Structure 1
Amino acid sequence: MIVAIDGPAASGKGTMARRLAAYLGVPHLDTGLTFRAVAHALLTAGQPLDDEVLAERAALDLDLGALDRDILSAHEIGEAASKVAVMPKVRTALLQAQRAFANQPGGAVLDGRDIGTVVCPDAAVKLYVTASPEVRARRRTDEILSKGGSADYEQVLADVRKRDERDTNRAVAPLLPAEDAHLLDTSKLDIESAFRQAVGIVEEVKAQ
Structure 2
Amino acid sequence: MTKTIRVAIDGPSGAGKSTLARSAAARLNFLYVDTGAIYRTIGCAVRRRDIDPGDRAAVVAALPALDIGLTYGADGLQHMELNGEDVTAEIRLPEISRYASVVSAYPEVRAYLLEMQRRLAREHSVIMDGRDIGTVVLPDAEVKVFLTASAEERARRRMLELQQRGTPEPYEDILRAIQERDWNDTHRAAAPLRQAEDAVLLDTTELDFTQSEEALLRIIRERAGL
Q: What amino acid maps onto 1:117 in structure 2?
A: T
Q: CA-atom RMSD, angstroms?
A: 1.6
1:85 to 104, 111, 114: 104
Q: Does 1:161 align with 2:179?
A: yes
Q: Gaps (5+ residues) in structure 2?
A: 72-78, 81-86
What's the CA shift for 1:69? Answer: 4.0
The equivalent residue for 1:129 is: 147
Deviation of the 1:23 alpha carbon: 1.2
Equivalent position of 1:31 in the other structure: 35
**TM superposition shift of 1:13:** 1.0
Q: Which of 88, 108, 113 is the aligned partner of 1:94?
A: 113
Q: Deviations along 1:53-105, whole A, 9 cap, x unmatched? A: 213432xx211223154321111212222332233222111111111112213
* The one of 68, 87, 91 aligned to 1:72: 91
- In 1: Cα distance, 2:95 partner to 2:69 partner: 21
- Confirm or deny: 8 A CA contact 1:4 1:110 kept in the other structure: yes
5+ residue gaps, structure 1: none
Shift of 1:47: 5.3
The equivalent residue for 1:143 is 161
Would you say the 8 A contact 1:168–1:174 is kept in 2? yes
Question: What letter matches 2:93 in structure 1?
Answer: A
Higher helix fraction (1 or 2): 1
User: Given the alignment of the two structures, is residue 48 of structure 1 paired with residue 51 of structure 2, yes or no?
Assistant: yes
CA contact (8 A) 1:56 1:90 kept: no
2:89 match: secondary structure: helix
User: Could you tell me which residue of structure 2 aligns to residue 116 of structure 1?
Assistant: 134
Q: 1:189 to 1:116 in 2, by over 3 A?
A: same
Counterparts of 1:135 and 1:86 in 2: how far apart (Å)?
25
Q: Is 1:174 aligned to 2:192, yes or no? A: yes
What is the aligned counterpart of 1:8 among 5, 12, 16? 12
Distance in 2 of aligned mates of 1:23 and 1:74: 28
What's the offset of the Cα at 1:191? 0.8
- Partners of 1:69 and 1:178 in 2: CA distance: 30
Equivalent-residue separation in structure 2 for 1:113 and 1:90 (angstroms): 14
Equivalenced residue count is: 204
Runs (4 or more) in structure 1 with deviation over 4 Å come to none
Q: 1:5 corresponds to which letter in structure 2?
A: I
Q: Is the 8 A contact 2:46 2:99 kept in 1?
A: no
- State the AA in 1 paired with 2:99: A
Are residues 148 and 26 of structure 1, via their aligned partners in 2, closer, same or farther at CA, if it must alter by over 3 Å? same
* Structure ranking higher in strand proportion: 2
Match of 1:62 in 2: 68
SS of residue paired to 1:54: helix
Identity of matched residues, %:
41
2:185 match: secondary structure: helix
